[in-house]
A and B are shown apart, each in its own frame.
Chain A
């Protein structure tokens, strides 16, 4: 493991690929590797790209990565696709749209399946991002299918989040249903060559304006307690970020410069007034609580037999005990043992 870390820090791509596998598989000893890599992280800009299936996320990643490469930035990409809940297998097909990026040592693409739990995906993604960050990539693009909680979890690790829409995916803008608007830093209307693109832009615009007070509080809530604590006192106007709407045709590279501009502006926005530091603090806080919760639970369950749990379930089912009472009883017996 130590040798692998050294090889990664020296830029060896196979070491990077192998460490990503270890992270995903939760191989024993990977924590030590992550700890050794941690001081080398914190340099990359992480961009999350989410949206409904088929909106053109991978094509957009392809176009964005090309544009960043023209600006001499190195790019790592994590493309997440769902695991089949029935077989545990997955088809990871995002690379199909990223062929323009082959043969370039400044690009590294990794496909990831969602595997088991949502919490597990968030942890694996965070760790994978760190491994890539430590490997020295300037920009990390993370593509996830927009399907509820998972993209919100991913967003907690990104610095700039793009929400991708496309015309013709249904009557309404997809975002309304998914409640995805509040996690967007930049709204992308891709497939702008298709009929209906302007309508999509209009409805997004209307939503941004109409839902102003509401979406604003949500924005504040999402971007962390940071606005409450830091910015409101100084300059509310500057601290407020209203997501711009950018139209693109990913497969033709159209609108990509504007999108890059919008990403750049968002980055500048975060860098003023210490917003970035506050955002990072929020990310760390969220992660710390998540890891703590997981570790405490694992710790507790180590000392409790399956039989004891099954007995409790039985007692709850027969209405002898209520669920919260069961938890209390468990915790008490554990404390007495300790």
Chain B
């Protein structure tokens, strides 16, 4: 048995820079994870499909456009449709407090603003993976 945690890092929405996503991808690689990086402009269907095929433990979304309230529910819905109810979503970006609560209600508990330490994200992932296998 030789388990590796696999994380999908996706950049949904239409804005065209993925620096933040790449920084996270590298940080998680350095934390020892296998990071599947899918690039820019991912549709909710593409994200759900990649999450399924890659059998990831967590899906991380980098959303800097402010469109998180539109995007996250649709991605959650596509993932649920694909049978991935048990795969948690985490979000990185600038998320105002009122949206934070709404996202948490949707079951999104990993919410990371700019300047978040990698350790925090790692801790979140470790806990999420532990919760899944219980």
Query: Which positions in A face B, CB cutoff 8 Å?
Result: 13-14, 17-18, 20-21, 24-28, 83-84, 87-93, 95-96, 99, 102-103, 108-111, 113, 115-116
Contacts and interface: CB of A to CB of B under 8 A. Distances in A.
19 contacts: A14-B55, A17-B52, A17-B53, A21-B6, A25-B1, A25-B3, A89-B33, A91-B25, A91-B26, A91-B29, A91-B37, A92-B36, A93-B39, A95-B36, A95-B50, A109-B50, A110-B53, A111-B34, A111-B36
Contacts of A87: 29-32
Given A14-B55, A25-B2, A102-B49, 17 more contacts: A21-B55, A24-B2, A84-B29, A87-B30, A89-B29, A89-B30, A89-B32, A92-B54, A95-B39, A96-B38, A99-B38, A99-B46, A103-B46, A111-B34, A113-B34, A115-B2, A115-B4
Contact of A102 (B33, B37, B45, B83): B45
A13 B52 contact: yes
Contacts of A115: 2, 4
B28 interface: yes
B63 interface: no
B61 interface: no
Contact of B1 (A20, A27, A83, A92): A27
B35 interface: yes
Given A91-B35, A103-B46, A25 B4 contact: yes
A17 to B, nearest CB: 4
Contacts of A95: 36-39, 50
A111 to B, nearest CB: 5
A26 B2 contact: yes
Contacts of A108: 53
B82 to A, nearest CB: 8
Given A27-B1, A92-B35, A95-B36, A13 B29 contact: no
A106 B45 CA distance: 15
Nearest to B25: A91
Contacts of B3: 25
B39 A96 contact: yes
B8 to A, nearest CB: 9
Contacts of A88: 4, 32
A24 B3 CA distance: 8
B32 A103 contact: no
A105 B63 CA distance: 28
Contacts of B28: 89
A109 B2 CA distance: 22
A89 B35 CA distance: 8
A115 B5 CA distance: 12
Contacts of B45: 102-103
Interface string B73-97: 0000000001110000000000000
Contacts of B29: 84, 87, 89-91
Contacts of A17: 52-55
Nearest to B50: A95
Interface string B5-48: 01000000000000000000110111111111111000101100
Given A102-B46, A115-B2, A18 B55 contact: yes
Q: Which of A13, A26, A90, A96 has the most CB of B within 10 A?
A: A90
Contacts of A102: 43, 45-46, 49-50
Contacts of A84: 29-30
Contacts of A111: 34, 36, 54
B52 A14 contact: yes
B83 A24 contact: no
B55 A96 contact: no
Nearest to B54: A111
A93 B6 CA distance: 13
B52 A92 contact: no
Contacts of A26: 1-2
Contacts of B50: 95, 102, 109
Contact of B31 (A89, A92, A96): A89
B30 A93 contact: no
Nearest to B9: A91
Contacts of B31: 87, 89
Nearest to B38: A95
Contacts of B54: 17, 92, 110-111
Contacts of A24: 2, 4
